[in-house]
Structure 1
Amino acid sequence: MSVIYRPVEKHEQQQALDLWYAVFKTQPEYFERYFSEKESPRYQFGDTLGAWVNDKLVSAVHIRRLYIRSRDDNVEYLCGAISNVATLEEHRKHGYSRELLRMAITKMEQSEEFDISVLGTGRPNHYLVLGWEQIALPSPISVQWNHFSSSGDNHHQWYPINDLLSSNCQLLLDIHSNKPRTYQFSRSPVSMFQHWVGWNWRKENAIAYLLSDQGYIVITHPDSAENTYVSEWRAANVETEKKLLKLAANEVHRRHPQLKTIRLHTVPQYMGLNELDQWAGVVTVSKNDHTMIRNIRLSRDVLEKIKAAYLGGHATFWQGDYF
């Protein structure tokens, strides 16, 4: 049985799509965006690697090109986001995907373009042996909210995410870019933002509150008491952040009066956890260990800064940053 490892050619992209659909069982038109010039404008030939057995594509790995931007010095680092790691069931346990991951590492290292690699997985051992390091993010944050507002009609100012994406997509992108976390993914251009971020928000029936150009906040699964949470926010300063979080807590409570605990995707942008505890209510921090990071060519100092930011929750994979 001959096995050939090589990049997926343009005319073979449909084979990769068929493989991913067969393995992941997702809805139609889900994976095409990985090859789309509009939705993935940074895609280059060689970013999808495949293993062929007797001329059949049986395993594939995809590298998404994303930029991680540093708030403090505005430097961008090219990140190889590993995604769509898939092998047909009847061809598993032969080491195909691991060999493709080795090829991906070599590609990133030899390109002299990539700085770091990230991925999200529930199977860390598959990647640990190849140099990816598990990072436990503080997520979610549960707050036993002390004081819900019983007055006001703030719910009239909340809009389905589709409405805001149609009318204020550029403004949402500008706020995200201009009021950043310590490290965050760049979401430009707007076509990429509207598709990738918007897709995930739409999938979770998100609603959002936009406070002119000072900030926004997003609640996902707003109609499900079991699943609703505050999934993302950006604010100009701590007072704006408090206003947005309070509005979100009141909106969740208005829809689900039985809920006394408000779930936040991660730590606040400006407040420390002790300050959040004193201001809003008792805070409980959970850990999410699905994120993994691998250095490509960063200095040790920069790498440790990025890792520390993720460990502290000041850099995170927001739900909209799905890759």
Structure 2
Amino acid sequence: MLNSDVSSIIYRSVAKHEENQALEIWCSIFNNPVDLEERLILESSEDGRQYVCAGITNVATRDEYRRRGLSRHLLQMTIDKLDQSNEFDLSMLGTGKVNHYERFRWEQVTQPIRVIIDWQIHASSHENIQWRPVSDLSYEDIELLCKMHSSHRRIYQMRRSPCSIFYHWVKRRWEKSAAIVYLDEDKGYVVIGNPENEEDVGVLEWRASNFDHEQKLLSLAVNEIRQRYGLTKRIQLFTLPQYMTIEQLTNWAGPVQVGTNYDIMMRNIRLPPGIYEQIKNSFSNGHAVFWSGDYF
């Protein structure tokens, strides 16, 4: 019989002599050694170039170290490593501590996010398509998702390979919102998050092969939401369209409101200024997408 009493569980830091064992357990759970350097690759759909992207997560020290200012020293040592290693092209952070990282030459990049549409298009006739819970997807399904994500790229996006990364991390994030997905090998895929919650339901992500297929996938998602909640007009997209401009989206679907994410920060490490500005502008205008599911 499984003991469900969790009151005796103790959370603590991993001791030095336990680090190897902890790493082995980590890798055994995810069936793959997680390689952060291999993972954080920013890909361009225009010329196929790949940029090694550095991130900083979990900067944590003991209280007495923080009181002595050593957390800042630890962060500076990490930054020096990024600058001197000649391994990284740029750094991207998703952080609420903008002022803290500005001191170390990261710059804030505001990003359009959470598009609210007053959807005016009447629902089309019911189509016999299959929406599947993300939790039910097989590894083969994830391989297909990974393939479509790579072949129908936005102008810049994080590489999701090997597919085990997609399976363990992206799928896990989608499962937290009880997401459902529609897959079509020709058109692409579209994911609806929080389908059982009328206030939070929305289109989490999609990748389409072209402009027309993007409209088709979004229409299918809206039809599914409306079948669940009636002829609701308020439709959420968690990113800007892949092919449509805001003007085209408005003319096609109805009035649009666009929110802003202020937590993204970028820092050039070794890119020519022109390329860095191009990448930065692609994120600030919403053509490229930074999503925490692609990032630890």
Q: Secondary structure at the match of 2:81?
A: helix
CA contact (8 A) 1:124 1:134 kept: yes
Question: Where in structure 2 are there 5+ consecutive unaligned residues?
Answer: 1-13
CA contact (8 A) 1:139 1:265 kept: yes
Cα distance in 2, alignment partners of residues 77 and 262 from structure 1: 34
Cα distance in 2, alignment partners of residues 273 and 311 from structure 1: 14
Q: Secondary structure at the match of 2:259?
A: strand
Which residue does 1:40 correspond to in 2? 34
Alignment of structure 1 residues 122-271 onto 2, 5 Å: 122-149=96-123, 151-153=125-127, 157-257=130-230, 259-271=232-244
Q: Secondary structure at the match of 2:82?
A: helix
Q: Secondary structure at the match of 1:82?
A: coil
* Shift, 1:75, TM fit: 0.7
Which residue does 1:112 correspond to in 2? 86
* Shift, 1:41, TM fit: 2.9
Cα distance in 2, alignment partners of residues 316 and 244 from structure 1: 18
* Shift, 1:320, TM fit: 2.9
Which residue does 2:263 correspond to in 1? 290
Aligned residue among 35, 46, 50 for 1:72: 46
1:101-120 superposed Cα distances (whole Å, 9 cap, x missing partner): 21111111111110111111
Task: Compute the TM-score of the two structures, normalised by the length of structure 2.
Answer: 0.86
Question: Which residue identity does 1:306 align to in structure 2?
Answer: I
1:160-207 superposed Cα distances (whole Å, 9 cap, x missing partner): 012234341111101100110000000011111111111111111111
Task: Compute the TM-score of the two structures, normalised by the length of structure 1.
Answer: 0.80
1:37-82 superposed Cα distances (whole Å, 9 cap, x missing partner): 8151346xxxxxxxxxxxxxxxxxxxx8510011111111101122
The answer to whether the aligner puts 1:311 opposite 2:284 as a matched pair is: yes
Q: Secondary structure at the match of 2:146?
A: helix
* Shift, 1:257, TM fit: 2.2
Cα distance in 1, alignment partners of residues 22 and 257 from structure 2: 42
Cα distance in 1, alignment partners of residues 33 and 142 from structure 2: 15
CA contact (8 A) 1:175 1:213 kept: no
* Shift, 1:256, TM fit: 2.0
* Shift, 1:149, TM fit: 1.1
Cα distance in 2, alignment partners of residues 152 and 238 from structure 1: 22
CA contact (8 A) 2:30 2:168 kept: no
CA contact (8 A) 2:181 2:191 kept: yes
Where in structure 1 do 4 or more consecutive aligned residues deviate above 6 Å? 14-17
Q: Secondary structure at the match of 2:249?
A: helix
Which residue does 2:5 correspond to in 1? none
Taking structure 1 as reference, are residues 226 and 295 closer, same or farther at Cα in structure 2, changes over 3 Å only? same
Question: Where in structure 1 are there 5+ consecutive unaligned residues?
Answer: 1-7, 18-28, 44-63
Q: Secondary structure at the match of 1:172?
A: helix
Cα distance in 2, alignment partners of residues 66 and 107 from structure 1: 16
CA contact (8 A) 2:39 2:161 kept: no
* Shift, 1:125, TM fit: 1.0
1:265-301 superposed Cα distances (whole Å, 9 cap, x missing partner): 1111100000000001101111011111111111101
CA contact (8 A) 2:39 2:160 kept: no
Identity across aligned pairs (percent)? 46
User: What is the root-mean-square deviation of aligned Cα atoms in Å?
Assistant: 2.6
Question: Which residue identity does 2:70 align to in structure 1?
Answer: Y
